[in-house]
Amino acid sequence: MNSKTMHMANAFDGSALDELDPDARTLIGRRDAVLSPSYRLFYREPIVAARGEGVWLYDPNGNQYLDVYNNVPAVGHSHPHVQRLVSEQLGVLNTHTRYLTEPVIAYSERLLALFGPELSKVVYTCTGSEAVDLALRVARYETGSAGIICTSHAYHGTTAAAAEISPSLGPNNPIGPNVVLVAPPDTYRQDPHTAGQEFADRVRDAISTLQERGVGFAGLIVDSILSSDGVQADPAGFLAPAAAAVRAAGGLWIADEVQPGFGRLGSGWWGFERHTLQPDLVVLGKPMGNGIPIAALVGRDNVMARFGRDIRYFNTFGGNPVSIAAATAVLDVIEADGLLENAREVGRQLLHGLTELAGRHAEIGDVRGSGLFVAVELVTDRDTKNPDPATASWIVNELRSRRILISASGPFENVLKIRPPLPFGAAHADQLLTELDDILGAR
């Protein structure tokens, strides 16, 4: 990766514009004329998405694409139960939380029952970025300190405060003056048995740095699957030593569950559960409403209390009845359709199948993940473990040409990120594995 350029694996760069369908070229031209250049398209040949259903996207010609990437439609694109509850609520009432309404209370009771008893309060926002922003405010107010630690290629959002702890946004995105970055565990290049303790040591060093700067230590925020850092899942529990170090220093553990939450990891509802730790604050985001804007900050009562008493916070349409209807529908479908179990079983199938592919294709250096969040790391040489972003990008675009959609991640852009909607089944996994095997065999 060129350190002087903005990081985004698999971005459309326009080099193949002349090869695109005339209608797609026209649409891209119209898009560029009105949308800010901060927007980016995926793939060498961008997808024109006309509709979605379940784990499939369709272009205007009716061609179907297997979606092995989008976690936001957690229970599947255009799910009828989500449609029904949202439509019904939209025809009845949609207003803010400063009026007394029953749905937000009922949903909150149901949501908090999925956490341990310590995490007993929730605040709603419209986006995960807003929830992260609020988590930072709460942590800083509770501790009286400003310093925040995050991992070195993390993504946590796009508000000013969240972007300051999102180094994956690229070198032109400044890291906050009260933020220290720490390298995440890398269980492919480190001893997995000591990676957790080594990470805790780096966290302790970062805490000392913040204290030396005179800003103190408010907390550490970690995506519980370390998605943008290349996906790090095992051994389960490796984050626990760092959590102990955070608590010993008087800081808060903020678990970013936007990507691993709501059963995606197949081991429970939340990613932090795999690490046998209880966060002080938990950020939830996009998947909780299947694409309808809703996010939340869940926290310990004692952590939320002083901020809530002393500072007036409201998010006008955070937790509005329509968004709550969508979130309710998501819980309904996850529970009724056994999607946690599906994530566990199909994820196990994916890991097994990808490990078999690694036995046949030397480009695959490592396979890792949990549930329906799986990573394949591509290397130029297994002995040196040298990252191979070119092959990762090539595979992503070759799969797209076969109408299978994934992306790449990690600090070197060399990690295939497999993160489909939760109804993704055994036959879908077989289709991905077969096509990936064929692509690698044709090199």
The contacts of residue 300 (CB under 8 Å, 6+ apart) are 118, 119, 120, 121, 280, 281
**Model confidence over 216-256: pLDDT tens digits?**
999 999 999 999 999 999 999 999 999 999 999 999 999 99
Coil, strand or helix: which one is 271?
helix
Better-predicted residue by pLDDT, 272 or 26: 272
| Residue 170 structure tokens | 């690229």
pLDDT of 15:
77
Computed on alpha carbons and rounded to an integer, the radius of gyration of the chain in Å comes to 21
Strand-by-strand arrangement of the 51-53 sheet: 51-53, 56-58, 64-67, 404-405
Helix (H, G, I), strand (E, B) or coil at 416: strand
Q: Is the pLDDT at 1 greater than 50, yes or no?
A: no
Res 22 pLDDT > 70: yes
Q: How confident is the model at residue 167 (pLDDT cuts 50, 70, 90)?
A: very high
Q: 56 with 405: CB under 8 angstroms?
A: no
- The residue among 58, 76, 72 whose CA lies nearest residue 403 is 58
CA distance 298 to 150: 19
| Partners of residue 123 on adjacent β-strands | 297
**pLDDT tens for each residue of 344-370:** 999 999 999 999 999 999 999 999 999
How high is the mean pLDDT of the chain?
95
> CA–CA separation, 156 vs 175, rounded Å?
12
The reported pLDDT for the residue numbered 3 is 41
Collapsing DSSP to helix, strand or coil, 243 comes out as helix
Please tell me the predicted confidence (pLDDT) of residue 396: 96
Please check whether residue 144 is in contact with residue 252, taking contact to mean a CB–CB distance below 8 angstroms.
no
Interval 175-210: pLDDT, tens: 999 999 999 999 999 999 999 999 999 999 999 999
Q: Which residues contact 357 (CB under 8 A, 6 or more apart)?
A: 364, 367, 433, 436, 437, 440
* pLDDT, tens only, 113-162: 999 999 999 999 999 999 999 999 999 999 999 999 999 999 999 999 99
pLDDT digits (tens, 9 = 90+) for 383-413: 999 999 999 999 999 999 999 999 999 999 9
Query: Which H or E run includes 213?
Result: helix 192-213
pTM, whole model, 2 decimals? 0.94
Angstrom distance (rounded) from CA 10 to CA 160: 25
pLDDT of residue 41: 85
What would you measure as the largest C-alpha separation in the chain, in angstroms?
Answer: 63
Can you tell me which residue has the tokens 């051994």? Answer: 235
CA dihedral 76, 81, 82, 85 (to 10 degrees): 180
**Beta-carbon contacts of residue 160 (< 8 Å; ≥ 6 apart):** none
- Which residues in 150-164 are b (16+ Cβ under 10 Å) and which e? bbbbbbbbbbebbbb
CA 134 to chain centre: 18
* Beta strand segments in 130-193, E: 147-151, 179-182
Question: Would you say the C-alpha torsion 175, 261, 99, 105 has a positive or negative sign?
Answer: negative
pLDDT digits (tens, 9 = 90+) for 39-50: 888 888 898 999
- The three-point CA angle 128-282-377 to 5° equals 75
Could you give the CA distance from residue 198 to residue 298 in angstroms, rounded to a whole number? 29
pLDDT-derived band at 8, boundaries 50, 70, 90: low
